Amino acid sequence: MKRLALLLGLLLAACGKPAAPPYSQESFVFGTRVQLSIWGAPEPQARQAAAAVMADLDRLHVKLHAWKPGALTQLNQALATSQGPHNIDAELEQLLRLSQDYATRTDNLFNPAIGKLVAAWGFHADQFAPQRPAPHTLATLLQASPSMGDLHIGQNQVSNRNPALQLDFGGIAKGWALDREIESLRRHGIRNALLNIGGNVRAIGKKGDQAWRVGLQHPRQAGPMAWLELHDGEAIGTSGDYQRYFDLDGQRYCHLLDPRTGLPAHGMQAATVLIGNMPDAGARSDAATKPLFIDGVSNAMRHAAKFDLNWILLIDAHGKLYASQAAKQRLHWQGDAPSVQLLD
């Protein structure tokens, strides 16, 4: 995906007596960089909390991997060979139910059921070669039209009526994991932290006596184009065409696919949303960017309403910026402020 990578902005100036640097730890999961900063906790407590987060992320990375052996590939094999029901644990059940809800809200533009389509484009690989799927392959997958509605989810069980369905949680896994790890930090007594999983960022509390600051990377230029303050419990997520993509015959093909056409979406460079403090803020900020990116500026507010979004920043394929009023009020631009068209 993706992503209008959000730079962890450790941009806060200290007030009065300089504060000690936050406890920081980094890792690499879900094919992306993870950065965790904890403020104001004793180092042993911070180290223990960070270790728990990183260990759980490593576990989820294996469990939810779309093409390497794990719980998800085992489930996909089972769903492809028989309707079921197939046994699943409570964690997968919760993720499936949430994904089904989000798919309905987005008119299936967020669609974790199209894993076979993602694989056909070559994106089920750590390194992918520029290739277009054969036309008959695309036609077959489009005709099968797998969706989350093909699943019947029961208590610790799931059944499937469409053998073309293959689950790929790349469009929600980082945001969903973000919510889990924020709760883990809170259980460990952490009151102030910032967690970034590949551009999906969520805050707890503050950094000292000021809010956490997060930088927004421009999809076509080096360095941040803007920054904003992220308050307690808020999450910000981005979908973009500049991290997982390939160029072929002068055209960019990104991993964000339009389920209606089977083709990579091409009308946008990036879509960013901010979600207020709620239990699924991270997951919601991840999934809600998909219809905005795929369907473009003209339908942005219709999709936003289904997630109660009021903070939106879009960059179209030509580099033109669009923002909601709430986003315009909170963004701080690096250098001269660019022209930004108001979304309404």
| pLDDT tier for residue 254 given thresholds of 50, 70 and 90 | very high
Going from the C-alpha of 5 to that of each of 146, 183, 221, 252, the distances in angstroms are 29, 23, 12, 18
Residue 8 is predicted with a pLDDT of: 42
* CA angle, 279 then 298 then 302, to 5°: 40
The Cα 281–Cα 284 span in angstroms is 5
Of 172, 203, 206, 211, nearest in space to 274 by CA: 203
**pLDDT tens digits for range 84-142:** 999 999 999 999 999 999 999 999 999 999 999 999 999 999 888 899 999 999 999 99
**pLDDT tens digits for range 302-344:** 999 999 999 999 999 999 999 999 999 999 999 899 999 999 8
Residue 4 is predicted with a pLDDT of: 40
Q: Are 268 and 91 in contact (CB under 8 A)?
A: no
What percentage of the chain reaches a pLDDT higher than 70? Answer: 94
Q: Which residues contact 187 (CB under 8 A, 6 or more apart)?
A: none
Across residues 147-151, what is the average pLDDT?
Answer: 98
Across residues 75-80, what is the average pLDDT?
Answer: 97
The SS3 call for residue 100 is: helix
In CATH, which of 3.90.800.10, 3.40.50.2300, 3.40.50.1440, 3.10.520.10 is domain 1-344?
A: 3.10.520.10
Model confidence, pTM: 0.92
**pLDDT tens digits for range 273-283:** 999 999 999 99
Residue 96 is predicted with a pLDDT of: 98
Q: Residue 15: pLDDT above 70? A: no
Residue 257 is predicted with a pLDDT of: 98
**pLDDT tens digits for range 59-73:** 999 999 999 999 999
**pLDDT tens digits for range 161-200:** 999 999 999 999 999 999 999 999 999 999 999 999 999 9
Domain ranges of the chain: 1-344
